[in-house]
Amino acid sequence: MQNEDTKGILQECDSGVKMGIDSIDEVIDRVGNPALRQALLHSRTEHVQLQNEIATALDAHGWSGKDPSPVADVMSRLKIKTGLTMQPTDAKIADLMIDGCDMGIKKLSQYVNRFPASDSPAVHIAERLIKSEQELADAMRVFL
C-alpha cells in the first residue's frame, strides 16, 4: 500500500507542478510590473526545482510522471486567455494566478489525505509544493 500511495502522491505532485509552470509561462510575457515578473520567475524557479526532485523520486522507484489532465489543461489555458483578453492587466494576471494557486493547494491537500501511507519524503515534497503555491498566492495579492 505504501508504494502505491507514494506513487500516487508523487504523480499528482508531478502533474500539479507542471500545471503551475505552464500557467506561469502562459502569463509571463504579458506582465508589465517588474516586481510581479520577478515574483512569478522566482516561483517558476522553485517549481522547476521541485519538478526535478519529483522526477528523481519517481525515477528511483521506476515510475513514470504524470501530465496534467487534458481537460484541466484546456480549462486553465482557456481561463487565462479569456481573462487576459477581457482585462489584460497585471491585476488580472495576479488574480488568475491566485485562483490557480488556490486550486493547486486544494488538490494537493486532497492528495496528501487520499494517500495516507505515502512515505515521508513524498509527503514532504507535496507539503513544499503546497507551501510554494501559498507563497505565490500571497505574493500576488499586492498586485490586485
- Rounded to the nearest integer, the mean pLDDT of the chain is 94
Please report, for the domain that includes residue 35, its CATH number. Answer: 1.20.1260.10
Domain count, the chain: 1
Q: What is the pLDDT of residues 9-25, one digit of tens each?
A: 999 999 999 999 999 99
In the prediction, which pLDDT does 2 show?
A: 63
In the prediction, which pLDDT does 75 show?
A: 83
Q: What is the pLDDT of residues 61-119, one digit of tens each?
A: 999 999 988 888 888 888 888 888 888 899 999 999 999 999 999 999 999 999 999 99
Three-state secondary structure readout of the chain: CHHHHHHHHHHHHHHHHHHHHHHHHHHHHHCCCHHHHHHHHHHHHHHHHHHHHHHHHHHHHCCCCCCCCHHHHHHHHHHHHHHHHHCCCHHHHHHHHHHHHHHHHHHHHHHHHHCCCCCHHHHHHHHHHHHHHHHHHHHHHHHC
Confidence of residue 1 (pLDDT cuts 50, 70, 90): low
**Domain span at residue 116?**
2-143
pTM (predicted TM-score): 0.92
